[in-house]
Amino acid sequence: MKEERYDVVVVGAGPAGSVTARTAASQGLDVLLIDRKQEIGVPVCCAEGVSNAVERYIQPDKRWICAEVKGANIYSPDGTKITLSGSKMEEVGYVLDRKEFDKALATEAASAGAEVRVKTEVYGIITDGTHKKGVYVRGMDGNTRIYADIIVGADGVESKIGRWAGINTHLKPSELCICAEYLMCNIEIEEEFSEFFLGEKVAPRGYAWVFPKGENCANVGLGIGGDVSKDKHRAMDYLRAFVHDKFPAGEVMAEIYGAVPLSGPLHKSVSDGLVLVGDAARHVNPLTGGGILYAMQAAEIAGDVIAKAIHEGDTSEDRLKEYDNRCRSEFGKRLETALKAKEFFFRLSDDDLNTLAHSLEGINLKELSTRALVLELIKRNPRRLVDLAKIVL
């Protein structure tokens, strides 16, 4: 079997993997970024909405921006509409072309000095006792042992890297959102607003979305709780019903399926010689399901910590704990609060959601953020939301 040697091998070329590779390579490390797919960014498994805070990590490019949105319309189960708009956009701001976006990030990693390799699948970890020494891969040139000082698992919600490394990555069905989405054209939508639909009949323990992509096209999808997914009540069943109701004349150009972790971050996402990033580390907002920005933020931290650890000659779990600590410090509180808020809102009935929506009817919030919306709800429903107030205040 052939053998290769790198400072870092990153498994998975999504946003988390590419930004980790870019950051580590820019600090002088010999980095290999691998992906099992034939083409980076394909297939797309994402609603593709992201805030304009993405500009912190990559210069905007019209090649991967399908639409810019000014706000969002949220509809309660009875159709009550709440409009949010303004400059502070948390989950929407741009609607991406993830295929082009992911390729742009991988290209930046390559420009920083990382080697990028596709059609390369990891099938095991090389270990020396508890320390991870590299990965076994199969690719176009056969099987190879790739040795590295640090392995980065950026292989998504079903991360095999984490499981093989002995990290508890188990998710209960209730900690998963099962998603289905169509790319639809020939539909009438608000081109400058994303839309969200709530309700037990629409998407139990989740929501439906319509993200405009220009020229009367949009991503139309929904996510439901993994614990309510069952025969004839799966995400695709709910999506078909939603589309039949909202866009009966629309044309389906693509179907997309996926899952999103809603558990909150892993308690531990490092071990000797190994780091998990992105969905593999559960860096996703449990209330909204948004994860791109958290993945990229964590990836920059990971790349920095990895570079320091390798330059110091210490890739132990104790040294790599700095990554977990910094992630908790920078965004852990937000995800913890979002998890508690998710659990609160998931207990509400459709009647409860309608009542809350009615309390906001007619207002136009000037800040599109989860926190701003929740605070306004608490302000208008102090008695009803006393438990929620304890979580977020």
In the chain, where the domains are located = 2-45+99-172+265-337
Q: Looking at the DSSP assignment, which residues form a beta bridge with residue 107? A: none
pLDDT at 238 over 90: yes
Q: Which of 291, 172, 191, 189 is nearest to 249 (CA)?
A: 189
Contact (Cβ atoms closer than 8 angstroms) between residue 378 and residue 385: yes
Strands 31-34 and 176-185 turn out to be: unpaired
Q: Residue 264: its pLDDT value, please? A: 95
| Unique residue bearing structure tokens 């870092």 | 8
Question: For residue 384, what pLDDT band results from cuts at 50, 70 and 90?
Answer: confident
- Answer yes or no: are the C-beta atoms of 151 and 135 closer than 8 Å: yes
Two tokens, residue 99: 């295929």
Tell me what pLDDT residue 3 has.
Answer: 96
Lowest mean pLDDT among 22-26, 107-111, 293-297, 385-389: 385-389
Q: Predicted confidence band at 370 (pLDDT cuts at 50, 70, 90)?
A: low
Tell me what pLDDT residue 320 has: 98
Residues 223 and 260 sit within 8 Å (Cβ to Cβ) = yes
- How much is the pLDDT for 311? 97
**What's residue 48's pLDDT?**
86
**Predicted local distance difference test score (pLDDT) of residue 87:** 52
DSSP 331: I
The strand pair at 49-50 and 94-96 is best described as antiparallel
Using N-to-C axis directions, what is the helix angle for 317-327 and 292-312, rounded to 10°? 150
Alpha carbons 63 and 363: distance in angstroms, whole number: 35
Q: How many CB atoms lie within 10 A of CB 124?
A: 12
> Percentage of the chain surpassing pLDDT 70?
96
Task: Kindly indicate the confidence band of residue 82, based on its pLDDT and cuts at 50, 70 and 90.
Answer: confident
Highest mean pLDDT among 10-24, 56-70, 327-341: 10-24
**How far apart are the C-alpha atoms of 208 and 334, rounded to whole Å?**
23
Look at residue 368 and tell me whether its pLDDT is greater than 70: no
The tens digit of pLDDT for each residue in 182-233 reads 999 999 998 899 999 999 999 999 999 999 998 899 999 999 999 999 999 9
Mean pLDDT for all residues in the chain: 92
pLDDT at 91 exceeding the cut of 60? no
Lowest mean pLDDT among 14-18, 351-355, 359-363, 377-381: 359-363
Rounded average pLDDT over 298-313: 98
pTM: 0.93
First to last CA, the chain: 58
As given in the structure block, the two tokens for residue 21 are 């590779």
Q: Report the distance separating Cα 33 and Cα 63, nearest Å.
A: 23
- pLDDT for the residue numbered 71: 85
Mean pLDDT of 154-176: 94
Work out the pLDDT band at 282, boundaries 50, 70, 90: very high
CA distance 302 to 311: 14
Tokens 């580390």 — which residue? 281
341 phi, psi to nearest 5 deg = -65, -40
pLDDT tens readout for residues 30-73: 999 999 999 998 877 778 889 888 999 999 999 999 999 988 89
92 confidence band (pLDDT: 50, 70, 90):
low
Give the span between the Cα atoms of 330 and 324, in whole angstroms: 10
Q: How far is CA 16 from the centre of its chain?
A: 9
Query: Dihedral sign, CA of 280, 97, 86, 74?
Result: negative
Q: Tokens representing 238?
A: 């709910």
Under 8 Å between Cβ of 45 and 14: no
Burial classification of residue 142, based on how many CB atoms lie within 10 Å of its CB (0-12 exposed, 13-18 middle, 19 or more buried): exposed
Q: pLDDT digits over 107-133, tens only? A: 999 999 999 999 999 999 999 887 899
Residue with tokens 């190994």: 274
pLDDT for the residue numbered 367: 62
How confident is the model over 70-97, as a mean pLDDT? 81
Q: Domain 2-45+99-172+265-337: which topology?
A: FAD/NAD(P)-binding domain (3.50.50)
pLDDT in tens, 134-160: 999 999 889 999 999 999 999 999 999
- Euclidean distance between CA atoms 393 and 388, whole angstroms: 8
DSSP-based three-state secondary structure for 360: helix
- Confidence at 85, pLDDT banded by 50, 70, 90: confident
Judged against a pLDDT cut of 80, whether residue 86 lies above it is answered with no
3-state SS assignment for residue 27: coil
- Joined together, the tokens standing for residue 7 give 């400072």
CA distance 252 to 184: 5
% of the chain surpassing 90 pLDDT: 79
